[in-house]
Chains A and B, each alone.
Chain A
C-alpha cells in the first residue's frame, strides 16, 4: 500500500488508542503500518532526515537507551525513542508513527533499543549511524537458541553496515568485544575500571562465553566484574580484552541518596550522580557515555543532562513502597539479589511467569547462584508469585537446603502484591524481582494502568 495511506491509517489508530486510554500505543500502530506497508522503516529513512542509534544486548537496553536519550536532549535535533521497551520492529515503527509530526518538522535523532533477534533486520532497514552492543547473557534459550548463534547473526549484521556506522562495544564481554573484528566502520570500546572488580567469589561459572573463538581454550580472567564480564584473555594470546576508550572507573553510594559514577575518556574525567545501583548500572552508564561522547557531546555535559534522570519502568523503579527490580535471566536475578542483600529491611517477592515474552522454559532459575538467593532472604520474609510460582519456590527451597522452609506461594500476582504490601512494617520496602510480563502486570496492579 501507499506509504502515506498506511501512515494515515496507523496514525488514526494511534489517536484512537490514546483517546480511549487503551494503552500507550507502543506496538499496534507499528504492527498495522508494517502490515500495510512492509518497507515503512526504509521509506521513513528515505523521505525524512532521520539518523538512528541502535542499542542492543541482553541486559540494560532500556536504561542505556534512556540515558542516551536524556543526553541527546541538549542538541538542536528532535529526539525520539521507543521508551516503553517495545523493541521489535512494530515498536520501532510505532515510535515513528507517533512522532511523525517531528519528522515532518526537521531532523530527528532516533535512539532505539532493539531486541537481540531483531538487531540484524533493524540494522538493514534503518542503517544506523551508530550501534552500541552491551552484552550477551543466557536468556530465553527457547527463543534465541544458543548465545553463539545470536553472536553470529550480530557479526553478519555488523559486516553488512557501511563504514560510516560507528560500532560501540563492551570490552568486558569477550563475545561482544570480538564482534569488533567484523565491523566495517570505526570501533570504540567501553568498559569498567579495575576498582570495580568484585571482591566476592568469581561468578564466571554462571556466565557464558568462556571460550576463545580462535582455539577453543577456556579464557582466563585476571578479575571479574559480574557474570563473565571482566579482564579476560585467551591463554594462548589469540584474543585479549581491548583497552576501553570510555571507562567507568568508580561507583560509590552517596549518603544523601543516589550513586556517584566516575567516567573518563582520554585525559578527561567527570563525576555524575544517578539513582541507579549495582555494578551492571556502571556498565550501562559507561556505554551511554561512549555513545554520547562519540555523538559529539562533552563528557562534562553529562552531569547536568542526567541530573533529573528517573529509572526506566520496572528497572529500579519505585512505586510507593515497592522497588521493582526486573529479573528475567540468571545474570539479572543474580545481580538484583545482590542489591536486595545490601538494601534495608523488608520482604522479598520473587515472581516467575512463563509467558512468551518471559520464555516458556523456566529452567534458567537453576542457573541462579544459590548462595546469592540464600544471602538475599536472610532476615526477610519471602513471597513467591506468578504463573510458575511453585517452580520458583522449590528452587529457593533447594538453594536454602530446606524443603520445609516457610514461603508464601500464590500464583496470583495481584493478591500477592496486596497481601505483601499490607504486611509491611513502618520503614520497610517490598523488594520485587519479577520476570518481564510479571513486571508489566505488577505495574498495572500498582498504578492501575497499562504501559504496553
Chain B
C-alpha cells in the first residue's frame, strides 16, 4: 500500500512545531509497511495528486501570503479535494482559511477557500487571545471511525495547546471536531473546537497534535487508505504507551 502525503506551505505555515505531525504520520505509516511519499507544496505550485494532506499554522504575515496564493493558485483544487471526500488535517491558520473569510482586527478581510461553512473574526484588543492547554471530547461520529482504525480501547478525548487571536464560528451544517471541556476552542463561547466535515479535520490544537493523540493520526491514515483502496481495515497496533502517558498528563494540565 502506498500513500501520497502533502505538506502544504511547509516554510510558511510551520509556527509551532507543525512538522511534528508529518513526522508522526510518516513513522506510523512506515511502521505498518505503508509506503509514503511526502510532497512539500510551496507557493505558486499547483496542488498535486494526493491521498492525505496536512497544513499547519503561521504568523500573520505568512497567513496573508498564503491567502493570496490560495486565491490565485490552489484554492479551486483544494475545494475539489475536500468535496471529493479526500482526507486532510488543517491546523489554526490553515483551518481558518478553509472558511468564507478571515476578518482581521484592522484592514480588509482575507478571503478563504470557502470550502467549509465557517467564518473567522479577530476582535483586536476587545477580546482576549485564546491561549492555553485544551482538553476536549471527540465528536461521537468521528470517534466511531477513530476506534475502528485504532482499536476500541483508545480514549474519547483530544488534548493540545491553542494560541489564536481569531475566533471561528461554524455554520449550521458544520460539526465540530470536539467539545471543549477546558480551553477556548473555536471561539470561547459555544464550546465547539475545530471542524469535522466529510474526511476533513480542522483544529486550533496546534503543533504536535498527532504524537500525543495517536488515535487521530491513525484515523487520518486509515481513512486515507480506505478512500484510496475502497476498503476499511483496522490498523495494526503500535507501542503507544508513552503517547498515552503524555495524553493523560495533558488531560490534567491547568489552562
Contact = CB atoms under 8 A, between A and B. Distances in A.
A54 to B, nearest CB: 26
Interface residues of B, number: 38
B147 interface: no
Contact of B15 (A141, A391, A394, A398): A141
A42 interface: no
Contact of B208 (A148, A210, A211, A366): A366
A394 B242 CA distance: 6
Contacts of B243: 394, 403
Given A366-B208, A403-B242, A395 B161 contact: no
Given A210-B11, A363-B208, A366-B23, A146 B60 contact: yes
Contact of A395 (B15, B62, B132, B211): B211
For chain B, what secondary structure do more than half of its interface residues adopt (helix, strand, loop), or is it mixed? mixed
Interface string A382-400: 0000001011011101110
Nearest to B246: A390
B62 to A, nearest CB: 8
Contacts of B238: 403
B240 interface: yes
A77 B131 CA distance: 46
A138 B17 CA distance: 10
A148 B23 contact: no
B19 interface: yes
Given A141-B163, A205-B11, A360-B132, A148 B246 contact: no
B207 interface: yes
Contacts of B14: 367
B24 interface: yes
Given A366-B207, A390-B249, A148 B19 contact: no
For chain A, what secondary structure do more than half of its interface residues adopt (helix, strand, loop), or is it mixed? helix
B245 to A, nearest CB: 4
Contacts of A360: 132-133, 161
A411 B240 CA distance: 18
Nearest to B243: A394
A210 B60 CA distance: 14
B15 A370 contact: no
A399 B132 CA distance: 26
Contacts of B211: 366, 394-395, 398
A395 B18 CA distance: 13
Interface string B181-193: 0000000000000
B16 A218 contact: no
A211 B61 contact: yes
A409 B243 CA distance: 12
Interface in B232-255: 238-240, 242-243, 245-246, 249-250, 253
B15 A146 contact: yes
A363 B242 contact: no
Interface of A: 138, 141-142, 146-148, 205, 210-211, 216, 218, 354, 360-367, 370, 388, 390-391, 393-395, 397-399, 401, 403-404, 409
Given A148-B61, A366-B23, A394-B212, 6 more contacts: A363-B20, A367-B16, A394-B242, A398-B27, A403-B238, A404-B239
